[in-house]
Structure 1
Amino acid sequence: MPYILKWLCISIIVGALVGTASAGFLQSLEWATHFRENHLWMIALLPIAGFLIGLMYYYWGKEVEAGNNLLIDNIHDPKRIIPFKMAPFVYLGTIATHLFGGSAGREGTALQMAGAIADQLSKPFRLDRNERKTLIIAAIAAGFGSVFGTPLAGAVFGLEVFLIGRIRYNAIFPAFASAILADGVTNLWKVKHTHYHIDFIPKLEFLPILYSILAGIAFGICAAAFSRIIHWAGSIFKSKITFPPLRPVAGGIIVALAVFAMGTTRYIGLGVPVILESFEKQLPLYDFALKMIFTIVTLSAGFKGGEVTPLFFIGATLGSALSLFIPLPFGLLAGMGFVAVFAGATNTPLACMLMGIELFGAECGVYVAIACVVSYLLSGHNSIYTRQKIGEAKNRRYESHQDRSISDFL
């Protein structure tokens, strides 16, 4: 009983703080997106914004530059308390990235803000090393659940993301309590989440299940490709440009020139309108590829934001396009791709199954589950999070990989 009361108290505080932070962040992001779309000339200033973000982290934020990987490292081996400045730094960097036209997401920012805010409770509550691990898991759950409006997926994501193939069940109560409370607080602030709708879901039969497996294979390959290419691109920027603040300048020039040359803002920002479009009609194959390129250049150059919403875009548009070859409704394939590419790129299949059910309804649950499991298995030991450790190898041939980090194989 003391355990429940203690963690309920901590979860209430985490939920209130993180839920409020997520609400403020989402409203700021909405403003930045709206302002940019009404002042497209600002995209020309993306290299300057990148330089300022780079300078901020180079001179004052080196200890928090690792971002989500710093959170994962602190779950594996808690050291000193995560500096609070991680929250305002990543907030400012992400808003600037979106305001000036970078292609990025919001999940990474929400998690880092949540982790930095919640870890400040370690001293007042006199938490030991193991309790700090639980606190950071709860913070990740709260950040994810509140920023997407998916508290169940957020809770499982927090339990699942740091160790491939295993779940830390002793953190299950704080994770669920924090995620549900944070989502509730975000809703109290009247923040609206995007709603998705799948028009038609076929009856569960042999052929639709087979087609779902085929789609899952495509999603897994896409997830592995994204994870590998973004790390490769990051290493190219680092090897070619030795002064870190100049890397986002180069990336910003590439993105800005591409936007003006193509004459469209379709592939920058969050891309929520295109994600919604993928549920309404069959989209061309190049949509997912172009979003992948824009996002990889933006994030590998050093701009801030998450990879997850771009992964939703990539997966949903790929799924919609696959309806040209796979005889399943484009809306269902878009929903499957939405969560399955994310599952493969983060190695969190259970969280992604729950997310699919929370966002699209239980009727598509089996199809979503098939796509997520196949994508997870096919993506191999790749991840957008290099500090993820392999708890259980996906294949017996790779048992030697166990207890090692993804970064060991890059």
Structure 2
Amino acid sequence: MKTTLHYVQDHLSLLRFLGKWFLLILPVALLSGTTSAFFLWALDEVTQLRWQHGWLLYGLPLIGVLILWLYQKGGKNAERGNNLLIDEIHQPGGGVPGRMAPLVLLTSLLTHLFGGSAGREGTAVQMGGSIAGVLGRQLRLSEADLRILLMSGIAAGFGAIFGTPLAGAVFALEVLTIGKLRYQALIPCLMASILGDITCAAWGIHHIHYQVAFSHTAIPTFSVPNGWLLTKVALAGALFGLAALVFSELTHGLQRLYKTYLPSTYLRPIIGGVLLIGLVWLVGTRDYLGLGVVSQQPNGISILNAFHSGGITPWSWFWKLLFTAITLSSGFKGGEVTPLFFIGACLGNLLAGWFNAPVDLFAALGFIAIFAGASNTPLASTLMGLELFGSDNLIFFAIACFVAYFFSGHTSIYSAQRLGVTKSTGRDIVHQAPLSRIQTLRRRAFTGNRID
């Protein structure tokens, strides 16, 4: 039985833990929030430039070569991006280089300026991780503390770039291993994400607000309409999960094709850039370039317009998926998450018509659920729905994200993500392997090759 002295000692230890991590996280969060604020401001500026000077699109193949050259000459292992951060948290090795932050910032802005279809999460997360890695090396932290600090850098970048501190904290815990969370980093990640978001907002950065007029609370809980809507949401969640699977497999598949058939790495961005230019001519619009949160024309195809009836075409989700897979697999930089929001919102808009369901609700469900499936982070995605769209439809957010997570299978946009618990059996995997390794073994088994 514990004495009063034991309780006092326990809480003094907890206070020391909080004080230590607050001091460690404060510079990481302040710098991550500041760099994210600058990135968001610069992203708006380069997007405006691209809209004003349409000829920039035709420089995309050459700018892809420049991006590849920059990473080959000065980037070293920084080119692995988010996957490097995940590997360093699981098994610290060569460390996260300080050059990752300026490189990913510059190359992401170049990608957006010349019309690549990419996002912003990857940039913010890598900047946060790079800042944390530099600080950890300077302070000579232990491997255990360095892991937590890297996770806090991820949380700070994610929370700041989207204005979703709760989702940012849980994302950093959830993204590392499928089915398992690292609760020892819970408080540091929460502090980092909140401080990063506050810092970003203090620089005058305002995030886009999405309106969902539909409210679940307007329907009686135990009613036939509510039951039908729950069923429709679950069916939509399954389709969102399958779309996430297609996106992940297509992106990774194109990367493998490039490596197999193009021995010269400099040909990859050239071919990717030319394909994107050709697709623009094929679909007759530039709305699938860049972020896609808003479009150049008020009635164009965008995430915001997907929340309204008639705001998109039936194939908008597919075209954005294809544009983004080609962009990222060809070596251009940015992130996957905002394009996934675009794909999900447009697919939700389409499914709302099929299911005779509220358009704004289903666009919101697709927005978060396809990200949940592609990144295997259903809890973080549900919290993101809460922070972006309010609490009225939280039950629908959770159903869509959890079902999408299940139906996306053992795939991910992050190939370094570990498999901790299988989705189908719930069985723990003792020797956790990266998903890239698991998928390689499965492909070899399918083709009949010997598995070592």
| TM-score normalized by the length of structure 2 | 0.88
- TM-aligned CA deviation for residue 63 of structure 1: 1.5
State the SS of the aligned residue for 2:353. coil
| Cross-structure match for 1:228 | 249
Give the superposition deviation at 1:401: 8.8
C-alpha deviation, 1:62, in angstroms: 2.7
Alpha-carbon displacement from aligned partner over 1:30-69 (angstroms, at most 9, x marks no partner): 1111110111111011011011111111222232111100
Distance 1:11 1:35 in 2: 36
Judge conservation of contact 2:167–2:380 (CA < 8 Å) in 1. Answer: yes
Corresponding residue for residue 33 of structure 1: 47
CA shift for structure 1 position 123: 3.1
Question: Structure 1 pair 325/261, CA: closer, same or farther in 2 (3 Å)?
Answer: closer
CA distance in 2, matches of 1:58, 1:387: 21
* Superposition map of 1:103-252 within 5 A: 103-202=117-216, 203=219, 204=221, 205-252=226-273
Give the drift of 1:250. 0.9
* CA distance in 2 between partners of 1:260 and 1:84 (Å): 40
Q: Whole-Å Cα distance in 1 between the matches of residues 384 and 400 of structure 2?
A: 13
Q: For residues 304-338 of structure 1, give each alpha carbon's deviation from its aligned partner in whole angstroms, at most 9, with x where no partner exists.
A: 01000000000000001101211220100000000
Moved more, 80-89 or 38-47: 80-89
Q: Distance in 1 between matches of 2:40 and 2:430?
A: 38
Report the Cα distance in structure 2 between the residues aligned to 1:408 and 1:261, rounded to whole angstroms: 36
Which residues of structure 1 form unaligned runs of 5+? Answer: none
Moved more, 400-409 or 325-334: 400-409
1:275 aligns with 2:303: yes
**d(CA) in 2 for partners of 1:105 and 1:142?**
17
1:33 and 1:49 map into 2 onto residues whose CA distance is 16
- State the one-letter code of the partner of 1:278: A
Larger Rg: 2
Summarize deviations over 1:351-409 as a string: whole Å, max 9, x none: 00000000000001110100000000111100000010011111118766961211023
Q: Return the alpha-carbon distance in structure 1 between the equivalents of residues 426 and 167 of structure 2.
A: 30
- Residue in 1 that maps onto 2:101: 87
Matched residue type, 2:355: I
Q: Which residue of 2 aligns with 1:289?
A: 318
Partner residue in 2 for 1:308:
337
| Contact 1:224–1:383 (8 Å) recurs in 2 | yes
Matches of 1:233 and 1:310, distance apart in 2? 17
1:319-330 alignment runs, 5 A limit = 319-330=348-359
Q: Which amino acid counterpart does residue 245 of structure 2 have in structure 1?
A: A
State the AA in 1 paired with 2:304: L
Structure 1 vs Structure 2 CA RMSD: 1.4
Identify the structure with bigger relative contact order (alpha carbons < 8 Å, sequence gap 6+). Answer: 1
1:356 to 367, 385, 389: 385
Most deviating of 349-358 and 323-332: 323-332
**Higher mean C-alpha deviation, range 315-324 or range 236-245:** 236-245
User: Does 2:72 correspond to 1:58?
Assistant: yes
Percent of aligned pairs with the same residue?
Answer: 45
Question: Aligned partners of 1:128, 1:394: CA distance in 2, in Å?
Answer: 33
CA distance in structure 2 between the partners assigned to 1:293 and 1:123 by the alignment: 40
Mapping of residues 386-401 of structure 1, within 5 Å: 386-396=415-425
Aligned to 1:371: 400
State how far apart, in whole Å, the 2-side matches of 1:400 and 1:10 are: 33
Counterpart AA for 1:4: L
Question: How many aligned residue pairs are there?
Answer: 410
- Does the 8 Å contact 2:420/2:428 carry over to 1? no
Show CA shifts across 1:169-227 (max 9, x none): 00011100000000000000001111100122342421111111011011011111111
* Unmatched runs of 5 consecutive residues or more in structure 2: 1-14, 295-301, 440-452
CA distance in 1, matches of 2:171, 2:412: 14
SS in 1 for 2:137: coil
3-state secondary structure, aligned to 1:284: coil
**C-alpha separation between the residues in 2 aligned to 1:268 and 1:171?**
37
Maintained 8 Å contact 1:52/1:245: no
**One-letter code aligned to 1:65:** E
Which region of structure 1 is more displaced relative to structure 2, 283-292 or 199-208? 199-208
Paired residues of 1:90 and 1:304 also in contact (CA < 8 A): yes
Q: Does 1:345 align with 2:366?
A: no
Q: Is the 8 A contact 2:117 2:327 kept in 1?
A: yes
The amino acid across from 1:54 in the alignment is L
Question: For the Cα contact (< 8 Å) 2:89–2:151, is it kept in 1?
Answer: yes
The residue type equivalent to 1:267 in the other structure is: Y
For the residue of structure 2 that corresponds to 1:323, the secondary structure is helix
- From 37, 44, 47, the equivalent of 1:23 is 37
Check 1:190–1:400 CA distance in 2 against 1; reply closer, same or farther (3 A cut): closer
Q: Distance in 2 between matches of 1:388 and 1:48?
A: 32
The aligned amino acid for 1:299 is L
- Aligned partner letter, 1:57: Y
In structure 2, what is the Cα distance between the partners aligned to 1:303 and 1:368?
Answer: 32
User: Whole-Å Cα distance in 1 between the matches of residues 255 and 239 of structure 2?
Assistant: 24
8 Å CA contact 2:177–2:417 kept in 1: the answer is yes
How far has the Cα of 1:288 moved from its partner?
Answer: 0.1
TM-score normalized by the length of structure 1: 0.97
Contact 1:211–1:327 under 8 Å retained in 2: no
Determine helix, strand or coil for the equivalent of 1:328.
coil
2:5 equivalent in structure 1: none
Partner Cα distance (1:368, 1:81) in 2: 37
The correspondence for 1:101, drawn from 115, 122, 145, is 115
Using the TM superposition, name which of 379-388 and 81-90 deviates more: 81-90
